[in-house]
Amino acid sequence: MMNRFNHLPTLKVDTTQKIAFIYKGKKHYGVKGDTVATALYANGIRIFARSLKYHRPRGLYSLDGECSNTCMEVDGIPNVRCENTLLEDGMVIKEQNVKGSAENDYMSFLDKLDWLMPAGFYYNVMHKPAKIWPIAMKQIRKAAGLGKISPDYEMPGKFDEVFLNTDVCVIGGGPAGMMAALSSAQKGLRVILMESRPWLGGFFEYRSGQYKDRQALHERALFLANEVAAHENIRSFTSTSAVGTYNNNLVTGFQIGKKEDVFDQRYIEIRAKSVVAAAGCIERPLIFDNNERPGVMQIACALRLAKTYGLLPGKKAVFSIGHDLGLEAALELHDLGLAISCVADIREDGHDPELLKKIEDKKIPLLKGWVATKAHGSKLVNKISLASVDGLVSKSFDCDLVVASAGITPVTGHITVAQGTLKYDNHTGCFLPDQMPEKMHAAGRVLGLNDPLSVEASGTLAGLQAAFDCENCSIQEIGEARKALENLPGPVRGTKLVTAPVKGRKSFICFDEDATIKNIKQAIEKGFDVPELIKRFTATGLGPGQGGIPGHNLPLYVAKYQTLPDVSIRPTNVRPPLVPTLISTYAGVNHKMFKITPMDEMQRKDGGIFRNLGVWQRARYFSNDLTCKKEIENVRSNVGMLDGSTLGKFRIHGSDALKALQRVFVSDMSKVKQGRVKYSAMCNDDGCVIDDGVVVKQGENDYYFTTSSGRAGQTVEWIRYHTRYDGWTFALVNLTDSLGVINLSGPNARKVLEKVVDIDISNEAFGYSEYKEFKIQDTVQTRAMRLGFVGELSYELHVPSSYVKAVWLMLNEAGKEFNIKNFGVEAQNVLRMEKCHIILGQESEQRTNLLDLGLGFLWDRNKTEAKTVGAVALRQAENDQTRLKLVGFKTENNTRAPRDGALVVDEKVRGYICTARDSFSLNEAVGMALVEGELSKIGTRLEIYEDECGDDRIYGKVVKMPFYDPEGTRMKM
Amino acid sequence: MKEIQRVSPVVFKSTPVKTKTRDNWEVVMEYSEEGDGPFLVDLSHRPRFDLQDSNLAAQKPFGIEIPETPGICVLEKGVLANRMNGTQVSLYNLDSDDTAVMPDESGYTDVTESTMCVALIGKNVFSICEKLTALDFMDPQRKAPFLFQGPFSHVPCQIVTLSKEGDISGLVLTCSRGYGRDMIHSILHAGEEFKLTPAGENRFTNWIKEL
């Protein structure tokens, strides 16, 4: 294990606390605060993985997870971004995308075959002859993708979610973000601050340069972080990456939990009135040959390895940089003991003179106008070639570390995802925000600023602009803040160099997808002349890092290679999630929210097998016999109990209640008599049936009606919508959950019920299609209906939900002597099908109208003044012979029933099976189907096609409906 | 004849230590190990009514002036009146000593059985809520009591915030009775990290007196 610095004030690791982990089967140690990547680095691991296409060795590069270089398998989870994942005790870490090991990968020969794989090769070379493609495709798919996961893999861990509201959301916890948060919070606003690293401070936090008045930048970072923490209006979320920004300032992100948190990761959704985008900058990769060889890393990576994690990144280094941060890093690392052979700076001039003097004082060789051209070493860097930027002169240095960076590039994903636009800035050489989305403000290095005071001042300004959006700040205050910023140094000049003077065969522009400069040239030569097309042809930027590595360089290179007069083209679009994370994090807690009926507990005790049906959980079966034979036979011959509580139930009352009913029901509802039940249906404007149910009159202008379970949630809105211009007075209340429904059915139903109620329920006193209200045991107010949905003597008891258990138990007790049994939804489905009673959605789909179902008798054509919904369309459909008709059928030769949804065919599709079952009551297979009119005649032979049946068909014959008890004597008994 | 008992849609696993029978409901007054809060209290047995009228200004349910603006609520004489929209108001009787009888006038419907009703009271109440809903309870422009009609754990709810004051924060939530089991599960799960525990009605009665 490498020695660590333990004296630096910027350290975020505790070197006294060791953490054990397993890498390739062996125990290693990191320290508290290490990421997986830094712990591996501290243990001398330099090759973390192999690249996607060429299996090139890959190592630490950005330390911020900007590319897939350090994606590894951790505790069985592939593609874990090791630079962003804190080390935990006992972690098991494995390499991925290797055959053999990362050190010795048998597939590394592919790197030499790059000439066989030009840009878009799979579009070109494997299609002729066409028979090659299936073979090639298999091999490509085997090789493609990073990491392996089983399809039935269950993600371990705890996932949470939180939905936040705030006035101002600040993305980025660097100096600009913190200043923005403070200035908004000081205006009394609620502020949320999101920072992807585990601490606040941004690019101040690891640097020792001077902020002001001898205060170091890291001291300033700490000061601001403390200010933020102390402000009660600011909620800071560290280890939290913003992954999406949307309309109306919806910001999404995820937070990585600490050990003491109740979550490993949690999804965060923030609704803000205003957003400040202050995510800072990343470095623009320097493009030269083998620019991703382990040992080559960015400036901040090398510096943070030392200053944050206490690890000297190498022994002997060469710097190839294009920004003052490179000089600053060289000085700091030199002071920490890194031997620096040379600093090659792309710039000829424009350096910070103070830094130049220090470089000179420390005798660090500086080459102005020079750049790295090639990293040498088969697996790790052991030498670097440098050349003047015009390529005329060259030099080589032995080294084990190359610190390389072309400059900086703003992190603008949060702006562009929210539809903000960027514009190339000739001074900084960066793509800077042009048009900002509404109520979003950029601050800090995103604007190209570099001076610490300017960065902070821009944060203050953005915070006030956000406060203005929240109507808590004056124009004058904003004007003053803007003036203060203008009096400070503006953006610094940036380098324009796109690539070192190399051919580019091994100069990588996108690490994730192994895309080289040569590939880009190939794409352009094929006519793909803009980055969005090149991205798709070469896969550049399609990896998990999206635009992190190639984002800035690609448009610059495309402009240069085509000798465009200016950089008018833009970086490719990035999309959420801007930072990759687990799908489990998006799933969050995933509470299953279903409704249960008041009989749920008793039915489960009785062995009910439940299924999710719409918003409800219902008992579908009461045994493992999914044909429900015993349940069905019990209802036909004895007595059964069904839970019908999911039915929609409504009260409509008030002086215009009847008018509203007339509007939405097809029947003449003025004919609903007290004490009687009326069955009717509702249609939509197309005459298609949307609902059916029964209506009873409870009193003057007071009705109670039921709807199907699936439509109950929409019924109030439906009726209100269709009466919205009438100014009618009525109250409409959804009582679906208020009342449980027990359906007591079978020839012995009366015998059971009469033991429980005190009223006369003989057929004469309480006949078929009648309605009664009574109390059970002087307590339970009950609405009772004589219905016959299952085709037997039936009582539907509507009971207040809290009393349902009591009534259920009474009926069970009363039914003991008859051996009363439960029956479930499937048994009911068969029973009613035998009787040819329809269920909407089963015997209908959204185009099925009232007439198609044979329910035209419900429609009262004479109540034109009611303007019944759907009546106009029904009139037009009356003579339409092309519509499907509902028919009953029996299968030929007593073959089994076809599956629901099977097609009725001849040369073409002529209809479909709605419901069909092997009927135990009839001893044959019967069903209902929607078929074209000409097939609806009695006796027509139906040819039925099931999925994957081949040439085997089931044949049926159209017969009269209903199949069971056609006279209806059993339900009227 | 067996005594008939009503069943609440809310079931807690905690052990009741004090109960009271009221209108056939067995109301738990106190549970064992209620802790220091926050608390979740079942109020499903408290009478709740729906009033609809095109001229609500003319109505004075239980003598209460109905707020003019939807979303605004009034708590008076133990009755909470929540203006839902232009023509509708929901009424919760939160006074345990009074079994309010529904006014025998047009427009009223007893909806006690339609919904489950719980109170979520004590510290960190809104931290629990933000794990379940995007509704902004801490919006400084909303003064308690106020009504939200929106999703809570993905389920349409009526939520009345009665206090936003630190440790005595609290709200009353109703949703379709059928969601009782899953709603309680999701609230208790979200509240685990804040030590949310089920509590008896006494806890709510004492709390509402403090408001």
Q: Is the pLDDT of residue A881 over 90?
A: no
**Could B131 and A806 be called an inter-chain contact, meaning their C-beta atoms sit closer than 8 Å?**
no
Exposure class string for B102-129: b at 16+ Cβ within 10 A, else e: beeeebbbbbbbbbbbbbbbbbbbbbbb
Q: Report the distance separating Cα A640 and Cα A961, nearest Å.
A: 24
ipTM over 0.90: yes
pLDDT for the residue A727:
93
**Could B178 and A654 be called an inter-chain contact, meaning their C-beta atoms sit closer than 8 Å?**
no
User: pLDDT-based confidence at A134, cuts 50/70/90?
Assistant: confident
Q: Report the distance separating Cα A768 and Cα A791, nearest Å.
A: 12
- Best mutation target, A192, A263, A591, to test chain B (most B CBs within 10 A): A591
In terms of DSSP bridges, do strands A71-74 and A91-94 run parallel, antiparallel, or are they unpaired? Answer: antiparallel
Chain B residues closer than 8 Å to A262 by CB: 192-193
**Could B182 and A593 be called an inter-chain contact, meaning their C-beta atoms sit closer than 8 Å?**
yes
Q: Are A553 and A405 in contact (CB under 8 A)?
A: no
Q: Are A705 and A678 in contact (CB under 8 A)?
A: no
Looking at the domain A159-281+411-486, which fold is it?
FAD/NAD(P)-binding domain (3.50.50)
pLDDT in tens, A88-102: 999 999 998 898 999
Q: Report the distance separating Cα A374 and Cα A389, nearest Å.
A: 13
Q: Are A439 and A470 in contact (CB under 8 A)?
A: no
In terms of DSSP bridges, do strands A884-891 and A954-959 run parallel, antiparallel, or are they unpaired? Answer: antiparallel
Q: Give me the architecture of the A648-734 domain, per CATH.
A: 2-Layer Sandwich (3.30)
Q: Is the pLDDT of residue A36 over 70?
A: yes
User: pLDDT-based confidence at B3, cuts 50/70/90?
Assistant: confident
Mean pLDDT of A564-575: 82
A597: nearest CB among B6, B106, B178: B178
Amino acid found at A969 = T
Chain A residues closer than 8 Å to B7 by CB: 598, 801-806
- Best mutation target, A159, A163, A652, A715, to test chain B (most B CBs within 10 A): A163
**Could A800 and B54 be called an inter-chain contact, meaning their C-beta atoms sit closer than 8 Å?**
no
pLDDT for the residue A547:
79
**Could B186 and A593 be called an inter-chain contact, meaning their C-beta atoms sit closer than 8 Å?**
yes
- Give A138 or A411, the one with higher predicted confidence: A411
**Could A800 and B5 be called an inter-chain contact, meaning their C-beta atoms sit closer than 8 Å?**
no
User: pLDDT-based confidence at A104, cuts 50/70/90?
Assistant: very high
B54: nearest CB among A162, A594, A729: A729
Chain A residues closer than 8 Å to B1 by CB: 777
pLDDT in tens, A602-627: 999 999 999 999 999 999 999 999 99
pLDDT in tens, A384-414: 999 999 999 999 999 999 999 999 999 999 9
In B, minimum Cα distance to A260 occurs at B193
Mean pLDDT of B39-68: 95
Closest by CA to B25, choosing from B46, B1, B41, is B46
A595: nearest CB among B25, B136, B178: B178
Chain B residues closer than 8 Å to A651 by CB: 109
B7: nearest CB among A160, A593, A802: A802
The rounded mean pLDDT for chain A is 95
User: pLDDT-based confidence at B2, cuts 50/70/90?
Assistant: low
pLDDT for the residue A791:
97
Sheet holding A77-81, edge to edge: A26-32, A14-23, A91-94, A71-74, A77-81
Q: Report the distance separating Cα A795 and Cα A402, nearest Å.
A: 85
In A, minimum Cα distance to B116 occurs at A737
A159-281+411-486 and A288-405: identical CATH topology: yes
Q: Which whole-number Å values give the CA distances from B75 to A137, A650, B64, in the listed order?
A: 69, 28, 9
Chain B residues closer than 8 Å to A595 by CB: 176, 178-179
CATH 3.30.428.10 fits A881-973, yes or no: no
Mean pLDDT of A367-392: 96
Q: DSSP letters along B84-138, please?
A: -SSSEEEEEE--TT--PPPPSSTTEEE-GGGEEEEEEESTTHHHHHTTT----TT
What H or E segment, with its residue span, contains residue A24?
Answer: none
pLDDT for the residue A128:
77
Phi, psi (rounded to 5 degrees) for B54: -70, -15
Closest by CA to A810, choosing from B3, B192, B29, is B3
Strands (E), A461-578: 508-510, 515-516
Closest by CA to A776, choosing from A735, A751, A804, A748, is A804
Class level of CATH domain B1-211: alpha beta
Chain B residues closer than 8 Å to A162 by CB: 130-131
Q: Are B112 and B71 in contact (CB under 8 A)?
A: no
pLDDT for the residue A150:
85
Phi, psi (rounded to 5 degrees) for A123: -80, -25
Q: Is the pLDDT of residue A857 over 70?
A: yes
A777: nearest CB among B1, B6, B176: B1
Q: Report the distance separating Cα A927 and Cα A906, nearest Å.
A: 19
pLDDT for the residue A117:
87
User: pLDDT-based confidence at B1, cuts 50/70/90?
Assistant: low
Q: What is the CA radius of gyration of chain A?
A: 37
Neighbours of A109 (CB within 10 A): 10
Q: What is the dihedral of CA A66, A68, A69, A71, to 10 degrees?
A: 120
In terms of DSSP bridges, do strands A508-510 and A515-516 run parallel, antiparallel, or are they unpaired? Answer: antiparallel
- Best mutation target, A255, A264, A270, A595, to test chain B (most B CBs within 10 A): A595
Q: Report the distance separating Cα A62 and Cα A512, nearest Å.
A: 13
In B, minimum Cα distance to A593 occurs at B182
In B, minimum Cα distance to A702 occurs at B106
Mean pLDDT of A754-776: 96
pLDDT for the residue A12:
96
- Work out the burial of residue B167: count CB atoms within 10 Å of its CB; fewer than 13 is exposed, 13-18 middle, 19 or more buried: middle
List B41's β-bridge partners, or say none.
Answer: B119, B199
Phi, psi (rounded to 5 degrees) for A690: -110, -20
Strands (E), A545-626: 609-613, 616-621
**Could A271 and B106 be called an inter-chain contact, meaning their C-beta atoms sit closer than 8 Å?**
no
Q: Is the pLDDT of residue A777 over 80?
A: yes
Q: Is the pLDDT of residue A684 over 90?
A: yes
A801: nearest CB among B113, B134, B140: B113
Q: Are A139 and A125 in contact (CB under 8 A)?
A: no
- Give A728 or A134, the one with higher predicted confidence: A728
User: pLDDT-based confidence at A543, cuts 50/70/90?
Assistant: confident
**Could B130 and A592 be called an inter-chain contact, meaning their C-beta atoms sit closer than 8 Å?**
no
In percent, the amount of chain B with pLDDT more than 70 equals 98
Chain B residues closer than 8 Å to A615 by CB: 178
Q: Report the distance separating Cα B100 and Cα A352, nearest Å.
A: 80
- CATH for A1-111, among 2.30.30.100, 3.10.20.440, 3.40.50.720, 1.10.3720.10? 3.10.20.440
Chain B residues closer than 8 Å to A235 by CB: none
Mean pLDDT of B84-106: 87
Distance from CA of B185 to the nearest CA of A (A): 8
B4: nearest CB among A592, A593, A779: A779
Q: Report the distance separating Cα A895 and Cα A917, nearest Å.
A: 11
A161: nearest CB among B53, B131, B181: B131
Q: Which two tokens stand for residue A776?
A: 């059970």
Q: Are A32 and A329 in contact (CB under 8 A)?
A: no
pLDDT for the residue A500:
93
Cα angle vertex A269, ends A263, A272, to 5°? 140
Amino acid found at B199 = A
Chain A residues closer than 8 Å to B180 by CB: 596
In percent, the amount of chain A with pLDDT more than 70 equals 100
Q: Report the distance separating Cα B132 and Cα B120, nearest Å.
A: 13
**Could A733 and B50 be called an inter-chain contact, meaning their C-beta atoms sit closer than 8 Å?**
yes
Q: Report the distance separating Cα A481 and Cα A443, nearest Å.
A: 13
Report helix, strand or coil for A17.
strand
Q: DSSP letters along A613-660, please?
A: ETTEEEEEESSS-TT-HHHHHHHHHS-EEEE-TTSEEEEEESTTHHHH
Q: Which two tokens stand for residue B35?
A: 């802790």
CATH number assigned to the domain covering A288-405: 3.50.50.60
Residues in CB range of A590: below 8 A, 6 or more apart: none
B113: nearest CB among A593, A615, A739: A739
**Could A802 and B132 be called an inter-chain contact, meaning their C-beta atoms sit closer than 8 Å?**
no
**Could A737 and B176 be called an inter-chain contact, meaning their C-beta atoms sit closer than 8 Å?**
yes
Q: Which two tokens stand for residue B52?
A: 């609809």
pLDDT for the residue A275:
98
Closest by CA to A342, choosing from A353, A357, A361, A327, is A327
Would you kindly state where each structural domain of chain A is located, as residue ranges?
A: 1-111, 112-143, 159-281+411-486, 288-405, 508-577, 648-734, 881-973
Mean pLDDT of A221-232: 98
Would you kindly state where each structural domain of chain B is located, as residue ranges?
A: 1-211
pLDDT in tens, A651-668: 999 999 999 999 999 999
User: pLDDT-based confidence at B98, cuts 50/70/90?
Assistant: low
Chain A residues closer than 8 Å to B25 by CB: 802
